[in-house]
Amino acid sequence: MTMLQFVRVLVASLIIASAVGDEIKNVLLLLADDAGLEMGAYLNKFSQTANLDALARRGLLFNNAFTSVSSCSPSRAQLLTGQASHSNGMYGLHHSVHNFNVLPNIQSLPNVLREKSNGHILSGIIGKKHVGAADHFRFDFEETEEKHPINQIGRNITNIKLYTREFLRQAKTQQKPFFLMIGFHDPHRCGHVTPQYGEFCERWGTGEEGMGTIPDWKPIYYDWRNLDIPAYLPATDVVRKELAAQYMTISRLDQGVGLVLKELESFDFANNTLVMYTSDNGPPFPAARTNLYERGIKSPFILASPNAEDRHHETTGAMVSLMDVYATILDAFQLSLNNSAFSSKSLMPLLRKEPRPQEDDAVYGSHSYHEITMDYPMRMIRTRQYKLIHNLNYWSYFPIDQDFYTSPTFQQILNATLHRDNLPWYRSLQSYYERPEWELYNIKSDTMERHNLAEQPEYKNVLKVLKQRLHEWQASTNDPWLCAPHAVLQAQGIYKDNPVCLTLGHESL
């Protein structure tokens, strides 16, 4: 090799190294609101998500990522505390009459980062926050719905861009590593509050008369007549029109992701920032959000490292929980997770090596409320083959939340049921409302979760093993619902050191 060739190779190597980076100093968490797998990277051929797809190509795309709870505030709390909702106390929605907050002893990621780094790490949140109490989630930089109208801070991608710029400028000036969380409000429904903007606020900011303008948004209009309907939804034109509106707001979210990543580049942070993208829970359709069925808990997840040695343009089949975001961020900053009570584990090792899959790999779910009136606690274990759901309030009908109730899709299901009209849906409204105590599904052969195996004799041992594993997880995470619904947990007085479940006598009634 000549000296000239050597210099050229050296320069090329330096360029590649500078483009990819060699050390993680910062973390950016991009969080969607009620988004499922409606992305090109997840083989959705309609929803246009060029920026998310590009992020997936330069990162690691997860095919088995799951939220542990299918509700907004509890899901955000799991991300920021590393604990299930029954452990951290965020049992349901934080805002308004629902009024849920984490327990007094719970500290969240921004507080822990500040404490462990002695204030050296700058934390920020832009967009939807939706957790509390405020002292438990104290970011150094906050521009959220607590200070702005939710659409202006969560859907106006120009505002998100400008506040991102302000935060990054602070980080640059102060020469601090940072953790920044962007809480997009898209594609959450808004039709029950501001119906004039469309069911998903898809008309808000389009530049149409009376809709205002978001300068950086180039609206993408979808022809509902050309859309395929996912198998879990009724095959009707009403649903197609809703999907067109949802995809339109997902494209707004996607363009916002592009703006944020461009700001990252302009401040020279792209080469040393770990980027995550996910969603709090599944879309607001039947059998999705507020459910522990697959469409309610299956989560998009991208982990893009700037490190040249890490995996890029690859997929992983590892079973992971959104509770793992907490430990992953601590690990990225080389800070320890020193409490064995956490359900969180770092995902950083996956950037280097794919683990060997095991049939008993599992994630867990804990959903107690959504709105305060939706008292329907559920617990779940999901392995690679089976899912077991424990419905603790199975004597009651499954509850419906407000914005989903007013949606055209649910209204069509409701009216068809009331008028005894045929509806092309894979289940009935009665079976959706009336659920047994135990639901066991073979996920590999029954992807729609239509055939409950809990009462089948040949699955008796599977049921027993999964029940035991679920009970052990609840016990290890201090679940107050551990003994429900047929017994009462006694863990005080003479039972303090040896908590027990004392029967309510249901079996003899």
Among the listed residues 72, 190, 201, 483, the single catalytic one is: 72
Residues 155 and 233 in one domain: yes
Which pLDDT belongs to residue 4? 44
How many domains, the chain? Answer: 3
pLDDT at 56 > cutoff 90: yes
As a whole number of angstroms, the distance between CA 252 and CA 49 comes to 9
Asked if 316 and 354 touch (Cβ cutoff 8 Å), the reply is yes
Residues 167 and 269 in one domain: yes
- The reported pTM is 0.94
pLDDT at 13 > cutoff 80: no
The 3-class SS string of 338-376 reads CCCCCCCCCCHHHHCCCCCCCCCCEEEEEECCCCCCCCC
Strands 141-144 and 122-127: parallel
The answer as to whether 18 is a domain residue is: no
Residue where one domain finishes, among candidates 359, 384, 403: 359
**pLDDT tens-digit profile of 147-187?**
999 999 999 999 999 999 999 999 999 999 999 999 999 99
As a whole number of angstroms, the distance between CA 50 and CA 39 comes to 9
Find the mean pLDDT for residues 458-478: 97
CATH number at residue 67: 3.40.720.10
Output 491 or 162, whichever has higher pLDDT: 162
Give the position of tokens 């997009």: 184
Find the mean pLDDT for residues 187-212: 96
Which pLDDT belongs to residue 467? 98
Asked if 159 and 142 touch (Cβ cutoff 8 Å), the reply is no
Asked if 274 and 305 touch (Cβ cutoff 8 Å), the reply is yes
The answer as to whether 413 is a domain residue is: yes
Residues 319 and 424 in one domain: no
The answer as to whether 288 is a domain residue is: yes
**pLDDT tens-digit profile of 87-111?**
999 999 999 999 999 999 999 999 9
As a whole number of angstroms, the distance between CA 99 and CA 93 comes to 7
Question: What is the token pair recorded at 485?
Answer: 């619904």
Over the chain, what is the mean pLDDT? Answer: 94
Question: What is the token pair recorded at 396?
Answer: 């009651």
Which pLDDT belongs to residue 341? 60
Closest to 486 measured CA to CA, from 398, 391, 399: 391
Element (H, E) at 256: helix 237-266
Which pLDDT belongs to residue 339? 65
Which pLDDT belongs to residue 344? 87
Which pLDDT belongs to residue 362? 97
**pLDDT tens-digit profile of 314-326?**
999 999 999 999 9
pLDDT at 448 > cutoff 90: yes
pLDDT at 287 > cutoff 70: yes
pLDDT at 337 > cutoff 90: no
Q: How far apart are the first and last CA of the chain?
A: 88
Residues 87 and 221 in one domain: yes
Q: How far is CA 45 from CA 41, 229, 313, 455, 470, in A?
A: 9, 12, 19, 39, 37
**pLDDT tens-digit profile of 246-285?**
999 999 999 999 999 999 999 999 999 999 999 999 999 9
Residues 174 and 307 in one domain: yes
The answer as to whether 13 is a domain residue is: no
CATH number at residue 401: 3.30.1120
Closest to 249 measured CA to CA, from 291, 284, 298: 284
DSSP string, 419-448: TT-----SS-HHHHH---SEEEEETTT-TT
Count Cα atoms within 13 angstroms, Cβ side, for 295. Answer: 15
Helices 237-266 & 50-57, crossing angle to 10 degrees?
Answer: 60
Residues 297 and 418 in one domain: no
Kindly provide the residue ranges of all beta strands, DSSP E only, lying in 251-407, ordered along the sequence: 273-279, 298-299, 301-304, 314-316, 320-321, 362-367, 378-383, 386-391
Q: How confident is the model at residue 497 (pLDDT cuts 50, 70, 90)?
A: confident
The answer as to whether 15 is a domain residue is: no
Residues 205 and 68 in one domain: yes
Element (H, E) at 161: helix 157-174
**pLDDT tens-digit profile of 212-221?**
999 999 999 9
pLDDT at 17 > cutoff 50: no
Which pLDDT belongs to residue 508? 85
Q: Is the dihedral of CA 141, 145, 148, 153 positive or negative?
A: positive
Find the mean pLDDT for residues 350-362: 96
Residues 135 and 197 in one domain: yes
Please report, rounded to a whole number, the percentage of residues in the chain having pLDDT higher than 70.
Answer: 95
Which pLDDT belongs to residue 447? 96
Residues 491 and 469 in one domain: no
Q: How far is CA 127 from CA 131, 184, 215, in A?
A: 12, 6, 17
**483 labelled catalytic:** no
Residues 119 and 261 in one domain: yes
Residues 489 and 455 in one domain: no
Asked if 438 and 454 touch (Cβ cutoff 8 Å), the reply is yes
Question: What is the token pair recorded at 377?
Answer: 């606690």
Residue where one domain finishes, among candidates 343, 359, 375: 359
The answer as to whether 1 is a domain residue is: no
pLDDT at 20 > cutoff 60: no
Which pLDDT belongs to residue 372? 97
Strands 122-127 and 362-367: unpaired
Which pLDDT belongs to residue 336? 87
The answer as to whether 300 is a domain residue is: yes
Helices 157-174 & 237-266, crossing angle to 10 degrees?
Answer: 30
pLDDT at 1 > cutoff 70: no
* Chain mean position to CA 60: 17
**pLDDT tens-digit profile of 113-156?**
999 999 999 999 999 999 999 999 999 999 999 999 999 999 99
- Domain around 322: 26-359
Residues 209 and 99 in one domain: yes
Q: Phi and psi for 442 in degrees, rounded to 5?
A: -90, 100
Residue where one domain finishes, among candidates 340, 359, 378: 359
Which pLDDT belongs to residue 19? 39
The answer as to whether 287 is a domain residue is: yes
3-class secondary structure, 179? strand
Q: To the nearest 10°, the Cα dihedral for 184, 187, 192, 193? A: 30
Q: How confident is the model at residue 31 (pLDDT cuts 50, 70, 90)?
A: very high
Query: Mean pLDDT lowest for which of 175-184, 338-347, 464-473?
Result: 338-347
Query: Mean pLDDT lowest for which of 3-12, 53-62, 133-142, 387-396?
Result: 3-12
Q: Which residues contact 425 (CB under 8 A, 6 or more apart)?
A: 233, 234, 235, 286, 413
Asked if 311 and 303 touch (Cβ cutoff 8 Å), the reply is no
